[in-house]
């Protein structure tokens, strides 16, 4: 097990390096640089000084090597070009808190509720609860997050003004964004869970457990949940990243100072160190989520553990 995790972590670092390299060179292929994004007429000498200060006059591969050196020797991701004095790492730390709070809560709510609804829906198959839940699930899958956000904002500003629809600070501000963001994961997990529970309920071991006289609650917890949760776990990893990407929109609609909005600004400003820093951050979280899911997999399903040690 330890060896497996270690191997996965090494592989993860390798992927992160590859992704960083690709992004770095892609980024420098984007037409325009931080100066052109400023749209100011500057004398040639000023421009040259500016490029020299940030090392933009060097060839791209040399800049890349310097960037890597910065990470490994000083543990820094560089300094924002657009806002001199802001360290990329500090910005990431500062802005990722709000993004993380919303994102993690949203995924957690979506996952837990989705699992529950999926199980209920499958056990009450073709009855009223199933039909209602399926309706919610299909709406959740197919309505874009910004539509939901706009509708919620409209309702809570104009019709029932009990929750703030903008800004950040108190727990009250988090309710609507989290509601919006958890809808799509909730729907996805419900759909996955419903179909995998339907697969499991007809298995022999469920009949066996019933025959042994096991209580219904025990059967659900011990046998049905454990065996049907795997497909949902598989998509949990990618889902975390999706939610972070979805935060681009949610954060701008609800005016939350988060990383998503900052990322888009960095991209339009061509703020190279910020772009590469946030990309590494997002990719890191994504890969980490995949790793955690892989480990959970082994913990939950003994069959996988067996084939691993063989």
Partner 1 sequence: MENKNLKDEQFRIVGCDDVEGERLGRPQTTYWKDAWRRLRQNHLAMFAMVLLLVIIFLTIFGPAISGYSYEKMSADMNQTPSLKHWFGTDSLGRDLFARVWAGGRVSIIIGVVGAVITTVIGCIYGSISAFAGGRTDSVMMRIVEIISSIPYLIVVILLSLMLDDSGIGSILLALCIVGWCPTARLVRGQILQLANAEYVTAAKTLGVSNWKIITRHMLPNTMSVVIVNLTFRIPGYIFSESFLSYVGLGIKTPDTSWGMLAAGAQGSMFFYPYQLLFPALMIGLTMLSFTLFGDGLRDALDPKLRR
- Dihedral (CA of 65, 66, 72, 78) sign: negative
Q: Give which of 15, 1, 45 is closest to 237, Cα–Cα.
A: 15
**Closer of 178 and 197 to partner 1 (Cβ):** 197
**Closer of 200 and 264 to partner 1 (Cβ):** 264
**Closer of 18 and 60 to partner 1 (Cβ):** 18
Q: Report the C-alpha gap between 57 and 111 in whole angstroms.
A: 48
Distant-in-sequence, close-in-space partners of 62: CB < 8 Å, separation ≥ 6: 55
Question: 300 exposed, middle or buried (CB, 10 Å; 0-12, 13-18, 19+)?
Answer: middle
**Closer of 46 and 307 to partner 1 (Cβ):** 307
- Least spacing, CB of residue 241 vs partner 1, in Å: 5
**Exposure on the CB side of residue 153, measured as CA atoms within 13 A:** 16
What is residue 87's DSSP assignment? B
**Closer of 45 and 126 to partner 1 (Cβ):** 126
Residues that bind partner 1 (CB under 8 A): 15, 18-19, 22-23, 26-27, 29-31, 125, 138-139, 141-144, 146-147, 150-151, 153-154, 157-158, 194-195, 198, 241-242, 244-245, 248-249, 252-253, 264, 267-268, 275, 279, 282-283, 286-287, 290
**Closer of 229 and 289 to partner 1 (Cβ):** 289
- Least spacing, CB of residue 267 vs partner 1, in Å: 6
Count of residues making up the chain: 310
Q: Give which of 272, 260, 286 is closest to 96, Cα–Cα.
A: 260
- Least spacing, CB of residue 279 vs partner 1, in Å: 6
- Least spacing, CB of residue 52 vs partner 1, in Å: 25
- Least spacing, CB of residue 261 vs partner 1, in Å: 9
Say whether 83 sits in a helix, a strand or coil: coil
Say whether 136 sits in a helix, a strand or coil: helix
- Least spacing, CB of residue 285 vs partner 1, in Å: 8
């Amino acid at each position: 097990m330890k060896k497996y995790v270690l191997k996965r972590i090494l592989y993860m670092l390798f992927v992160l390096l590859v992704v960083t390299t690709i992004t770095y060179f892609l980024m420098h292929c984007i037409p325009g640089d931080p100066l052109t994004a400023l749209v100011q007429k500057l004398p040639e000498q000023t421009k040259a000084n500016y490029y020299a200060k940030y090392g933009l006059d060097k060839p791209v591969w040399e800049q890349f090597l310097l960037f890597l050196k910065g990470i490994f020797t000083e543990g820094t991701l560089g300094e924002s070009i657009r806002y001199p004095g802001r360290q990329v790492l500090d910005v990431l730390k500062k802005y990722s808190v709000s993004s993380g709070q919303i994102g993690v809560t949203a995924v957690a709510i979506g996952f837990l509720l989705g699992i529950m609804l999926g199980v209920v829906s499958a056990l009450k198959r073709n009855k009223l609860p199933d039909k209602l839940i399926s309706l919610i699930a299909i709406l959740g899958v197919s309505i874009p997050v910004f539509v939901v956000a706009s509708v919620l904002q409209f309702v809570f500003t104009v019709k029932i003004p009990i929750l703030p629809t903008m800004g950040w600070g108190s727990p009250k501000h988090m309710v609507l964004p989290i509601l919006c963001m958890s809808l799509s994961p909730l729907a996805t997990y419900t759909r996955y869970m419903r179909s995998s529970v339907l697969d499991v309920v007809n298995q022999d071991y469920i009949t066996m457990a019933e025959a042994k006289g096991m209580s219904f609650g025990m059967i659900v917890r011990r046998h049905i949940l454990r065996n049907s949760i795997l497909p949902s776990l598989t998509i949990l990893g990618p889902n975390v990243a999706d939610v972070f990407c979805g935060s681009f929109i949610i954060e701008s609609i609800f005016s939350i100072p988060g990383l998503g909005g900052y990322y888009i600004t960095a991209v339009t400003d061509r703020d190279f160190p910020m772009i590469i820093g946030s990309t590494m951050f997002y990719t890191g979280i994504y890969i980490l989520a995949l790793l955690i899911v892989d480990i959970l997999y082994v913990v939950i399903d003994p069959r996988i553990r067996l084939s691993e040690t063989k």
